[in-house]
Amino acid sequence: MLLLSVQTACWWFLGLDMTSKLYPLIIHVPVLLLFSLYFKRMWLLSAASVLSAYLCCQAPRWVGFLAGAAFGSGLADHIFYVVAVFLSYYFLKKHVAGSVRELMEQSLNSRLLLLAVPLFYYIFDYVTTIYTDVLYRGAKWAVQFMPSTISVFYFVFVLLYYAETQKQAALQRERDMLDTQLRLAQTEFASLRQMQQNAAAYRHDMRHHFTLLQGLASKEQIEEIREYLRTAQSDMDAITPIRFCQNETVNLILSAFAAKAKQAGTLLTIDARLPDTLPFSDTELCSLLSNALENALHACEYIPERNKRMIRLRVFSKNTKLCIDIRNSYQAEPIFYRGLPVSREPGHGFGTKSMAHIVEKHGGVFQFFIKDGWFIFQATA
C-alpha cells in the first residue's frame, strides 16, 4: 500500500511521464531493498527476482497493445493487460516459479545467467522507450539490440548446458562404476561363500571317506581304492573353481562368469595371461571385464541355437602393453554411434561408456567393431 500511495502521489503531482521515468526509484529499488533487508534474501537473488518480474510483464503488455489496436480503444488495452497479468501470474507461479527458484539457488553462475537477460532488457526498455524514443523512431542499433542479445545468450546457454551434460555424464559413469564394484563384491562374496560351504561339506564327509578306505585297505582291495580315489578327485575338481590366472580377484570374477555362461548354455573360452604389473587397478580391470562379459552374455541370450552362443576372452601382454580381446556371437546386428554400441533398451548402454572411460583414463585405446560374425571389443593400455 505504501508503494502504491507513493506511485499515486507522483502521478498526481508530477504527471505520468515523469512518474514513468522515476519508476525505478519509487518502485523497483524499494522492492529490491525490501527483499534484501526485510526478507534477508541475497542481493543478487533479489535483483534477479525484481528484474525477472519486470520482464514477465512484457507479454501481458503486448496482449494489451494488441487488444487496444484491435478494438481501437485505450480502455480495451488496459482491461486486457490487467487480465493477462493475472493469467500470467497464475501460469508462472504454478509451472515456472519453482524451477527458476531451484536454478537460482544452485550456484552463482545460475543466478548471473538468470539475471543477465532481464537486466539487459530492463536497461534497453528504459533507454529506448521511456528516457528516449529511439526504438519507436526505428533506430537500427535499438531495433537490433535485443535480437543480438538473445543470440549471444543463446550460445552462452548452449555452452553452459553442454558443460552441465558433461558433468552429468561423469556422475553417471561414477555411479556405474560404483554399481559395478558392488556387483563385483557381491560376486566375490557369493563365490567365497560357495567355496566355504563346499569345503565344510567335504570336511564333514572326510571321515566317511577314511572309514571306507580303511575297510577296503583291510581287505587289500587295491583296485577299488584306486577307483574310489579317482571318483573323489573328480568330485573335488567339480567344486573347485577353475584357475584362469594368478590374480585372485580377477580369477573369482572369471569363475563366476564361467558358471553363468555354463548355466545359460553359452560356450565361454578364456585365455587370461595377466602380467605382473597392470595399468588398471584390480577393481577397474574387473569392472572392465565384468561389463564386457555381461554384455556378451546378454547378446548371446537372443540366439535361439545354443550351439551358436559363443564368447571368447583373451587377456595378454604385448610390448609392455596389456591387451584385451573379447568377442561374442550375436543375433541382431548392433548399432554404433561415435564408435560405441547403442543399446536398444532404455536405461542400458552405460556399461560400454564406463569401459571406454576406464581405458581412456589410463591413456589406452579401444574399439568396438563387427567382423566375421563376431562382435568384438579390443583394448590396449
Q: Helix 108-125 to helix 97-106 angle, to the nearest 10 degrees?
A: 120
Rg, C-alpha atoms of the chain: 37
Q: Give the pLDDT confidence score for residue 311 in this predicted structure.
A: 93
Task: Say if residue 380's pLDDT is above 80.
Answer: yes
Over pLDDT 70: what percentage of the chain?
74
Closest CA to 310 of 297, 328, 293: 328
pLDDT in tens, 2-38: 766 766 777 777 777 777 777 777 778 788 888 888 8
The helix (run of H) or strand (run of E) holding residue 380 is strand 374-380
**CA separation for the pair 237, 243 (Å, rounded):** 11
Q: To 10 degrees, the CA torsion angle through 159, 145, 147, 66?
A: 140
Helical ranges in the chain per DSSP H = 2-14, 16-23, 29-33, 43-56, 58-71, 74-95, 97-106, 108-125, 140-218, 222-239, 248-264, 282-300, 350-361
Q: Which residues, at least 6 apart from 180, have a Cβ–Cβ distance to it below 8 Å?
A: 286, 287, 290, 291, 351, 354
- Give the three-class secondary structure for 379: strand
Cβ pair 368, 355 in contact under 8 A: no
Which tens digits make up the pLDDT trace of 157-211?
667 767 777 777 777 766 776 676 666 656 666 666 666 666 666 666 666 666 6
Of 342 and 155, the one with more pLDDT:
342
- Spatial contact of 14 and 22, defined as CB atoms under 8 Å apart: yes
Q: What is the distance, to the nearest Å, from the Cα of residue 254 to the centroid of all Cα atoms in its chain?
A: 28
Q: What's the CATH fold of domain 241-381?
A: Heat Shock Protein 90 (3.30.565)
| pLDDT for 309 beyond 90 | yes
Dump pLDDT digits (tens) for 226-250.
776 677 666 665 555 667 777 777 8
- Is the Cβ–Cβ distance between 330 and 156 less than 8 Å? no
CA 35/CA 41 separation, integer angstroms? 6
Q: What is the pTM of this model?
A: 0.50
> Which residues are CB-contacts of 122 (< 8 A; sequence separation ≥ 6)?
51, 54, 55
**Do the Cβ atoms of 273 and 279 come closer than 8 Å?**
no
- Note the Cα 217 to chain centre separation in Å: 67
Q: Give pLDDT, residue 145.
A: 66
Q: Look up cell 494488441; give the residue.
A: 66
The pLDDT assigned to 133 comes to 79
Query: What's the pLDDT at 195?
Result: 64
Q: What is the pLDDT of residue 180?
A: 63
On the 0-12 / 13-18 / 19+ scale of CB atoms within 10 A, 194 is middle
Q: Where does CATH 3.30.565.10 sit in the chain?
A: 241-381
In angstroms, rounded to a whole number, what is the distance separating the alpha carbons of residues 145 and 137? Answer: 14
Q: What is residue 280's DSSP assignment?
A: S
Q: How far is CA 356 from the centre of its chain?
A: 15
Side-chain-facing half-sphere of 354: CA atoms under 13 Å: 26
